Amino acid sequence: MTLEILGITVLWTFLFGYIILGSIDYGAGFFNAYSIITGKDHILSNIIQRYLSPVWEVTNVFFVFFFVGIVGFFPKSAYYFGTIFLIPGSIALILLAIRGSYYAFETYGNKGHKGYAFIYGLSGLLIPASLSIVLTISEGGFIYIEDGNPVLDYWALFISPLSWSIVLLSIVAVLYISAVFLTWYANKTGDLKATNLMRKYALIWAFPLIITAAGIIYELSFHSSEHYERIIDLGWMFGLSFLLWIATVLLIWKQKNYGTAVWLLIGQFTLAFYGFGISHYPYLLYPYLNIYEGFTNQAMAISLVVVFILGLALLIPSLYLLLKLFLFDKNYLQGKQKKE
Amino acid sequence: MLFEDPVLASRFLTMLTLSFHIIYATIGVGVPLMIMIAQWVGIKKNDVHYILLARRWAKGFVVTVAVGVVTGTVMGLQLSLLWPNFMELAGQIIALPLFMEVFAFFFEAIFLGIYLYTWDRFEDQRKHFFLLIPVALGAGMSALVITIVNAFMNAPQGFDIVDGQLINANPIAAMFNPAMPTKVSHVLATAYMTVAFMLAAIAAYRLLRGSNHVYHKKALYLTMKVGLIFSIATVIIGDFSGKYLAEYQPEKLAAAEWHFETEEGAPLLMYGILDENNEVKGEIKIPFALSILAFGNPTAEVIGLNEFPVEETPPLIIHYFFDLMVTIGVFMIVLSLIFWIGIKRGWNFVKAKWYRWLIVLGGPLSFLAIEAGWWMAEVGRQPWILNGIMTVEEAATSSDYVGLMSILFILLYIVLGTGTIIVLRRIFKENPVEKELKIPQGGNNA
Helix B180-208 crosses helix B318-345 at what angle (to 10 degrees)? 50
pTM: 0.88
At A249, the pLDDT band (50, 70, 90 cuts) reads: confident
Q: What is the mean pLDDT of residues A194-200?
A: 80
Judged by CB atoms closer than 8 Å, whether chains meet at B114 and A54 is answered as: yes
Cα B416–chain centre separation: 19
Judged by CB atoms closer than 8 Å, whether chains meet at A97 and B70 is answered as: yes
Mind telling me how many Å the CA of A89 is from chain B's nearest CA?
8
Q: In this predicted model, what pLDDT tens digit does every residue of B189-198 receive, in sequence order? A: 999 999 999 9
Judged by CB atoms closer than 8 Å, whether chains meet at B105 and A339 is answered as: no
Determine contact, residues A256/A111, Cβ cutoff 8 Å: no
At B439, the pLDDT band (50, 70, 90 cuts) reads: low
- Nearest CB to B88 within list A78, A99, A325: A78
Q: Can you tell me the ipTM of this complex? A: 0.83
Contacting residues of B for A332, CB less than 8 Å apart: 121
pLDDT at B376 over 80: yes
Q: Highest mean pLDDT: which of B169-183, B263-277, B357-371? A: B357-371
Hey, is B399 helix, strand or coil? coil
Q: With an 8 Å Cβ cutoff, is B102 touching chain A?
A: yes
Q: With an 8 Å Cβ cutoff, is B98 touching chain A?
A: yes
Q: With an 8 Å Cβ cutoff, is B89 touching chain A?
A: yes
Mind telling me how many Å the CA of A34 is from chain B's nearest CA?
24
Burial A2-11 (b: 16+ CB within 10 A, else e): ebbeebbebb
Q: With an 8 Å Cβ cutoff, is A97 touching chain B?
A: yes
Phi then psi dihedrals of residue A4, to 5 deg:
-60, -45
Whole-number pLDDT of residue B443: 42
Q: Is A230 exposed, middle or buried (0-12, 13-18, 19+ CB in 10 A)?
A: middle
Minimal Cα distance from A297: which residue of B? Answer: B92
Q: Which of B80, B93, B420 to mutate to test the interface with A (most CBs of A within 10 A)?
A: B80
Contacting residues of A for B12, CB less than 8 Å apart: none
Mind telling me how many Å the CA of A208 is from chain B's nearest CA?
32
Contacting residues of B for A83, CB less than 8 Å apart: 84, 397-399
Q: What is the mean pLDDT of residues B171-180?
A: 86
Whole-number pLDDT of residue A52: 67
pLDDT at B446 over 60: no
Mind telling me how many Å the CA of A99 is from chain B's nearest CA?
9
- Nearest CB to A83 within list B93, B116, B398: B398
Q: In this predicted model, what pLDDT tens digit does every residue of B28-84 receive, in sequence order? A: 999 999 999 999 998 899 888 898 888 889 888 888 888 888 898 899 889 888 888
Contacting residues of A for B116, CB less than 8 Å apart: 54
At A139, the pLDDT band (50, 70, 90 cuts) reads: confident
Q: What is the mean pLDDT of residues A244-268?
A: 86
Q: What is the DSSP letter of B5?
A: -
**CA distance linking residue B169 with residue A141, whole number of Å:** 34
- Nearest CB to A57 within list B89, B98, B112: B112
Judged by CB atoms closer than 8 Å, whether chains meet at B408 and A87 is answered as: no
Q: With an 8 Å Cβ cutoff, is A325 touching chain B?
A: yes
Q: With an 8 Å Cβ cutoff, is A109 touching chain B?
A: yes
Q: With an 8 Å Cβ cutoff, is A63 touching chain B?
A: yes
**CA distance linking residue B282 with residue B318, whole number of Å:** 17
Q: What is the mean pLDDT of residues B355-370?
A: 93
Q: With an 8 Å Cβ cutoff, is B77 touching chain A?
A: yes
**Reduced 3-state DSSP string for chain A:** CCHHHHHHHHHHHHHHHHHHHHHHHHHHHHHHHHHHHCCCHHHHHHHHHHHHHHHHHHHHHHHHHHHHHHHHHCHHHHHHHHHHCHHHHHHHHHHHHHHHHHHHHHHHHCCCCHHHHHHHHHHHHHHHHHHHHHHHHHCCCCEEEECCEEEECHHHHHHCHHHHHHHHHHHHHHHHHHHHHHHHHHHHHCCHHHHHHHHHHHHHHHHHHHHHHHHHHHHHHHHCHHHHHHHHHCHHHHHHHHHHHHHHHHHHHCCCCHHHHHHHHHHHHHHHHHHHHHHHCCEEECCCEECCCCCCCHHHHHHHHHHHHHHHHHHHHHHHHHHHHHCCCHHHHCCCCCCC
- Maximal CA-CA distance, chain B: 72
At A108, the pLDDT band (50, 70, 90 cuts) reads: low
Contacting residues of A for B152, CB less than 8 Å apart: none
- Nearest CB to B66 within list A103, A304, A310: A103
At A328, the pLDDT band (50, 70, 90 cuts) reads: low
Q: In this predicted model, what pLDDT tens digit does every residue of B136-148 receive, in sequence order? A: 999 999 999 999 9
- Nearest CB to A71 within list B95, B117, B412: B95
**CA distance linking residue A309 with residue A314, whole number of Å:** 9
Kindly calculate the radius of gyration of chain A based on its CA atoms and give it in whole angstroms: 20
Q: With an 8 Å Cβ cutoff, is A6 touching chain B?
A: no
Judged by CB atoms closer than 8 Å, whether chains meet at A315 and B107 is answered as: yes
Q: With an 8 Å Cβ cutoff, is B100 touching chain A?
A: yes
Q: Which of A14, A21, A83, A306 to mutate to test the interface with B (most CBs of B within 10 A)?
A: A83
Contacting residues of B for A75, CB less than 8 Å apart: 87-92, 95
Contacting residues of A for B103, CB less than 8 Å apart: 307, 310-311, 314-315
The per-residue pLDDT of chain A, averaged, comes to 80
Judged by CB atoms closer than 8 Å, whether chains meet at B85 and A79 is answered as: yes
pLDDT at A64 over 50: yes
Mind telling me how many Å the CA of A96 is from chain B's nearest CA?
7
**CA distance linking residue B76 with residue B105, whole number of Å:** 12
Judged by CB atoms closer than 8 Å, whether chains meet at A149 and B62 is answered as: no
At B199, the pLDDT band (50, 70, 90 cuts) reads: very high
Q: What is the mean pLDDT of residues B302-319?
A: 85
What is the percentage of chain A residues whose pLDDT exceeds 70?
A: 89
Minimal Cα distance from A55: which residue of B? Answer: B113
Q: With an 8 Å Cβ cutoff, is A305 touching chain B?
A: no
Contacting residues of A for B172, CB less than 8 Å apart: 303
**CA distance linking residue B154 with residue B176, whole number of Å:** 12
Q: With an 8 Å Cβ cutoff, is B73 touching chain A?
A: yes
Sequence letter at residue B136 = A
**CA distance linking residue B76 with residue B61, whole number of Å:** 22
Q: With an 8 Å Cβ cutoff, is A100 touching chain B?
A: yes
Determine contact, residues A326/A332, Cβ cutoff 8 Å: yes
pLDDT at B441 over 60: no
Q: In this predicted model, what pLDDT tens digit does every residue of B279-302 receive, in sequence order? A: 777 788 887 778 887 788 888 888
Whole-number pLDDT of residue B34: 94
Q: Give the other-Cβ count within 10 Å of A234's Cβ.
A: 16
Whole-number pLDDT of residue A117: 75
Contacting residues of B for A147, CB less than 8 Å apart: 398
| Cis? peptide before A75, omega within 30° of 0 | no
Judged by CB atoms closer than 8 Å, whether chains meet at B84 and A319 is answered as: no
Torsion angle of the four alpha carbons B229, B232, B234, B237, in this order, in degrees rounded to the nearest 10: -120
Q: Which of A60, A66, A71 to mutate to test the interface with B (most CBs of B within 10 A)?
A: A71
Q: With an 8 Å Cβ cutoff, is A72 touching chain B?
A: yes
At A113, the pLDDT band (50, 70, 90 cuts) reads: low
Lowest mean pLDDT among A19-28, B255-264, B430-439: B430-439
